[in-house]
Structure 1
Amino acid sequence: MDRFEHIVALLRSGRTARADQLRAEAPGALLPRWTAGEPLSPALRQVHQFAYSIRAVRVDDTYAWAMVDGSIYRMPLAGGEAQRLRLEGRHESFYWDAVFDDATVVAVEDERLLVWDLVTGMLLLATDPDAIPLRAAPLRSLAIGAGVAVTGTKDGYLLKWDLADGRLLGRTAAHSGHVTRVAISTDSAPTVLSLGGEDRFTETLCFHDLDGFRRTGEVAVPAQTGCGGWTVLDGQRRAVTVAEEGLLTVWDPVAAAPVAQFATAARLREALVFIAGGACVVLDEDSALRIMDLRDGTVRGTIRTDFTHRVDRVAVHGTFVFAAGDVRTNLLELTDPLAQDDKDRPYFRDAVPATIDGRPAIIAVDADGSFEVIDAADGRRFGDPAAERRITLRTAVWYPRPGVVTAGDRDLLVVVSECGPTTVDPATGDTHTAAESSLSPAGPRLIATGNGLIAATNDKGVLAVWDAATLTLRASLQLADVYGTISLALADLHGRTVVLAGTEGGGIRWFDSADLNEITPPGRFAERPNHPAVRRLDWPGPAAVTGLDVFGSVVIVAVDDTVTCADIATGEPSGPALAHPNKVLAIRPTVLDGVPVVATSCADRTLRVWEIETGHTIWSVALPQQVGRIVSVAADQIIVLTEGHLIAVGPGPKIPSS
């Protein structure tokens, strides 16, 4: 982790004193002040992020290891940067599977098994592609044991290789199709477990003795039984498999029959890992590690990772667990007794700024429509700490789109669901929902609030406007191009509220909010090009108006790598174009010390604050990851939403006087 990520991790785990100490070492730097959102597991020790997919992991007394395409990274358990070792050879090929084996790492590509030295990166062995029988087809899965490697192929074969010289020692047809997983037992009579089948509806579990490749058992298993391994229970060798539907089965390999079955919400992972002398298995469930006792199915522990997606690979050594999810790793520590973290933690989908009781606040919305009110000054929960942490809206919400609208002297949270808007008083939790018939049910896409109105679009291309006080529908319109509207804003034009819709083609459509009749864009806005919409794999395309906001009389537009600001009545520039080195991901205008500014987030992972009139950059800060949502901007901090939690970065420098 770099210094920024280290401070974020300390803040999220509650170690604020250590975070303050680390921040004080360079007081001039723009560093995180607080975070809010899902907490880190107390067991989390290190986080590392890579640019490419992780193929294998290992942990030993000194290092955690990860194979990332053509490189090996080792991370000291005591902390520090990952050390990279480039593996010898060309690495344009895709490695289907890989395994660390003592002082080497072994991988399979379509036609070869390869072995590298972990000290030098030297390629020690590459098997002959001609050694693979034509009918066996490409290699797909791999297991190491008893001095040999066993690979499973796409067409259902098992191939046994000598790891000393690369000779093919044996082959057998095991399945009717793709061999998804192989594992070798480590006892005195090694046995190969393999899983595979012709398609996702036909799966078999096979057992073969390793010496002669003689099949000793075969049994049908539930579809998508994609991971398996070996353990010893009460002195008996046992095989363990997990099906996608959540069924964990303990097998007697001699009888090829189940001896125990337990329901689990675990998802498939590349391989099974066992602890506690083989009595417990480590499973992935909703990005958390669940530790299940194989004797009775009891969950002995739950350790949360900081992943937003599934855990793919796990390695265990002593008290350390090393977990990988696609391109990210966590080093976690096992405790005695095992940790019982809450896996159902909040994960903020979106957040909006508000003012509550005269104080700046952030309203963060979870995936299910629950919301949490956070004090913008310190990231703590707003109001009474003893109060209920979250309030769940009493309406069906699917990927809620939030906003804030002012009604009277109060800021209300607006959440648009499939059927329309709901307003919530964040201080009391009082909710009001529009009639379900006001908008055809469909997933909400965009929302804009202002002047006492709510505007939104949904996945069926409906644009609608409601009165925020009464939630009555003022007007609705079926847009011709369902996905042609990329951004949305409300603004005041000559005393009437208008709806601005940024398009995929680069233009901005203007609508009267009273009836949604389209009006001619004022002044130079009518000159904006609007290229014909062409569906692309990288939708929306480079001409799309991906950012649109209105601040007073200034319309702020983001297209690709440029932000422009123009007067709403004339379209004349309000300042120079703000050019970025890469695509602009988010914008947020505000006033700092009486000067109108706009904060931008760029794909180069840098936040910038610009003076609108002069185009002068007030300050910028590089972050460890891209930011898709700037929540609020103040003189002393900027709050962003990333990876399910909020981060306040600051303090920022003062506005220059000249």
Structure 2
Amino acid sequence: MNDFSAAKLDLLDASRRDVLAALGSDTTPQGRTLLSAWRAARRSTADGPENLWQAALMVELLRRGEKVAARQLGTRRPASWLPSWAAGPPLNLGLQHIYQLDHLIAATTVASVDGRQVGLCFDQDGVVHTIDMLEGTVQARQMSDGEQDFYRDATFADLDGQQIIAAVTEQQALVWATATGDLLTATDPDDIPRPAGHLTSVAVGHVAGTGVALAGTREGYLLLWSVPDGQRIAKFNDGHSCYVSSIAISTDGPPIAVTGSGGEAATVCFWDLATRQQIGQPRPTANISQVGWTRLADQPHAVTVDERGLLQLWLPQQPEPVSSYPTGVASVGGLACTVVEERPVAVLSSGGRVRLVDLLTGLPAGDTMTDFTQDASHVAVSPPNTSTRSIIAVQGSSTEGRVNILDLNPAPTGDGPTAGSDVSSGSKAPVYLDADIVTVGGRQIIAVIGDDATLRLHDVSDGEQAGRPLTVSAMRTPYGVRLRCLTLDSRPVGISATPGPFTALYLDDGSHLALPDQGPQRAALAGLACDASGTTKIVVLSDQWGSMIAWDLQTMRLLGHRPSKKPGSNACLAVTAIEGRTTILSASRKGKLRRWETDLTAHAAPIAAHRGPITAIDTLDIDGRPTAVTVGDDGQTAAWDLHTGERRGPKLRHPAPVNALLATTFGGIPTAITACEDRTLRIWSLLDGKILDTIPTPRPVRRIFATAADDLVLLDPEGLTCLGGRQHA
């Protein structure tokens, strides 16, 4: 965990040259993380005031998962509102989730538990962390007697239908059931011959229907134990002359083990575990870092990767490799073999990247970046028969326990880039366009629509994604995209609209509502509003020409259509209730606030709200009376009694154009919260026009939401930021 020192935090007050001099040469994860966040904060604030700079740096640290460091900054410079979490598009489209388990991870895998795909991580304290790859939750289970000095190696395996973790200390091999934490096997330290040296590596497999653990030693020995009773059943000492770095046992056909060693006399060896015999002679090679198995041409092939980044395929009976492929990387920390679109693929972790290699051609089949500040040491892949294929990668040599869940990119079937090229996944992170707040499964959620036509749901308590992303519809253009949410028949619904027809889907399961033919495609979308609190469940849209159309969401009946040829009219929409009747509000380009019946006939005379165009409308009740709050491009905000059309309270004057508006109640006080182009959030009392608070915002704010805990969530071009921890009453 990055708990930054006071000296490093003091650099916040230093000049640019001082920071770069102090941190630019700092090779620690802390230094690199702080420098990365510092640079990003500087880019977003330029020469802004100190309070803006602090907020920007806290947000950048939160986006990198450095919650402790962000809290430290908030403690050093207290403010009435502070960022408590930040969320947004990942560094790349393949980066699904980021976790920090705060322990040094020794092994990882992807498995199915109770029908759900999970990532499993085993740490140096003997704890198995189970990551639900759909929900994003993490559970930890201590393995019985698992608190040893240090595990030299560990591996997960499916043994007789039971998920197990096997690990070796210097003197002992141990096997646990991950579901219960029960210790299944603990070998006798006296089983290790004195000349063998300490244990260095381990693998698990089956021999004649019995689970076995095969461990390598520092001096090149191999020791085979029975898992059920912990008895040593074989010893091999004629294959390697130096430490055994990696072991893999084939699960396809006879139980054959491939072992690789390091040192000056590095070799690759094969062993028939059923007959306890070596297959052929040791094969000299460079230091072996990883070994595994794959299937090619209907035969099991061993896969080895050496310190040069050379990937080789072997048949146990042949003295020479079948194929040799340069991977273009100097050091491989993890290897996993799988099948993607019926092609065998090796997944390699190297540095901060995860690279896929097509084992038929040796060509790169994909490449993606992690968010790691150190090399990735372990990698695993979900089985080919799972509907959603994922990679789990672990940052090595770090007690942060940094874990990334990545998409498994499909393998190309034609010619690809050369092995030495820097392959990019070709995917970009989505841009968050619009958002709304809604309750899903009893939790408040911010639903966000991106330019990839996908809805992502973020829990307001911590910003983490809640459930899987939901596909909305094909998006012809990201311009003019709107999203609004409501509860319909006790189920949360998201309604999105683009320059084409609107779509609606249930946010609890992603299923779409059946919608009627909405007629010809509209011009560029201008406004969207919906409401399900009254007897009429309504959605209303407007386009750039001022035309409006309204639908009943329950019956999918067209309620009204009002054509217009006045560009800019009705660009802002809202729905409220006046005297128990559902009423549509719209804003004209001449500053008029109009009230409409659900069939889009006039409800009452327009209200002359502003001298120029109205740029935002929101509603709330003040003393039980429906009130509209409007913002004009003249920089003024005003509240209007929708019964009488009279203004309530003074007009609020801003020093710059207003980008976002929220009308709500804080502490029983009706308030308007506005975000200006001067990157300042202002909280106003609608009763007397006084400013209750001002909050710096590092980036331009597009939407403002208030949570049930009276925190504020802001949508900006780069994601979501939650402001909480208010110190004032």
TM-score (norm 1): 0.50
TM-score when normalising by structure 2: 0.45
Q: Which has the larger radius of gyration?
A: 2
